[in-house]
Structure 1
Amino acid sequence: MDAIKKKLSALREEADAAVDRAEAAEAKNKKYEQEILVKDQEIASLQHKLGVLEADLDKTEAKVGELKTAADAGESGRSTNDALSRKVQLLEEELDTSEKTIKETVEKLRQVDVKAEHFERQLQRVEQERDTWEKKWEDMEAKYKNSQKELDELVRSMGDI
């Protein structure tokens, strides 16, 4: 009788430990899902910024083209030519800055993609681990129910004696 009680106690402790581990795994899973959502939002934000920067780049390139054409066509005055040259230089600097920003944004996007893939792999691993714990939990629960049936039968047979 004591052996059965010890066995039941051990099974209960194992089941409680399995439940605790499953809850911990679920908490980790939720944490990783939240991190993935944050990274997805960062990706969307960076993609939006990239689109805005590309549009700005197109506008800037168009302005540079217009200013170069205007500078070539209009030799009307030295002051006008100097002003246009300064504008072209500023636009080219702005273009260089925009191109640098685009490169940085693309690199950040690539890094975010790598991180997202890493988190997806972690999430898959955690989900597999959770599935393993759920399987163990089901097995332990089945063992517990079988042990409970055996105990009930033993108690019943002892009551008949």
Structure 2
Amino acid sequence: MDRIKEKMNSLRVEADESAAKVEDLQKQVKTLEQENLQKEHEITSLTHKNSQLESEVETLEAKVKDLKTAADDGTGHLTQNEALQRRLQLLEEEAEEADKNLRETNDKLRQTDVKAGHFERKVQALEQDRDQWESKYEEMSKKYSTVQKELEDFQAEIGNI
């Protein structure tokens, strides 16, 4: 019986040790379960954060695409703007050249008007001279006719003598 008692004591000690071990293991299981729960929450949180970041990445990629499109459009507008500025500069130069030609033409027109006025005065003076010569011619023609008639009369008288 001693042996049985010893065996029982040893079994009790073993059972106590096993119970202590079970308690320790249960504590470890609880700790591990809590850690597992924390890890699951952390995973859920990180998954949620990851999905938010992925949607933000998609949004940013869409913005980048829009900005690239806008930049390409801006480059196109810039090129078009430069072409229009060059055309505007050419048109301004042409306008300046046309203005210069207009001023030169106006100056030539004024000079022509001055010359035309001068020639008109000369024409008037020449017309007056012509009118004077015509009246002198008419006077001389009348005198010639008169002298011719007198000469004929004189010849007729001489012929009658």
Q: What's the TM-score once normalised by structure 1's chain length?
A: 0.51
User: Could you give the per-residue CA deviations for residues 62-118 of structure 1, whole angstroms, max 9, x where no partner exists?
Assistant: xxxxxxxxxxxx996321221111111111111111111111111111111111111
Is 1:119 the counterpart of 2:156 in the alignment?
no
CA distance in 2 between partners of 1:97 and 1:75 (Å):
33
CA distance in 1 between partners of 2:144 and 2:106 (Å):
56
Tell me what 1:144 maps to. 144
Q: What's the TM-score once normalised by structure 2's chain length?
A: 0.51
Is 1:102 the counterpart of 2:102 in the alignment?
yes
Structure 2, unaligned runs of 5 or more: 1-73
CA distance in 1 between partners of 2:107 and 2:153 (Å):
68
Tell me what 2:133 maps to. 133
Over 3 Å counting, the alpha-carbon distance change for 1:91 and 1:121 in structure 2 is: same
Over 3 Å counting, the alpha-carbon distance change for 1:75 and 1:125 in structure 2 is: farther
Tell me what 1:17 maps to. none
CA distance in 2 between partners of 1:127 and 1:159 (Å):
46
How is 1:1-161 mapped onto 2 (pairs within 5 angstroms)? Answer: 77-161=77-161
CA distance in 1 between partners of 2:130 and 2:75 (Å):
75
For 2:112, give the aligned amino acid.
V
Greater relative contact order, per chain length (Cα 8 Å cut-off, separation 6+): 1
For 2:82, give the aligned amino acid.
D
User: Could you give the per-residue CA deviations for residues 108-160 of structure 1, whole angstroms, max 9, x where no partner exists?
Assistant: 11111111111111110110010111011111111111111111111111122
Over 3 Å counting, the alpha-carbon distance change for 1:75 and 1:110 in structure 2 is: farther
Larger radius of gyration, structure 1 or 2? 2
For 1:116, give the aligned amino acid.
A
CA distance in 2 between partners of 1:136 and 1:117 (Å):
28
Q: How many correspondences in the alignment?
A: 88
Percent identity of paired positions between Structure 1 and Structure 2: 50
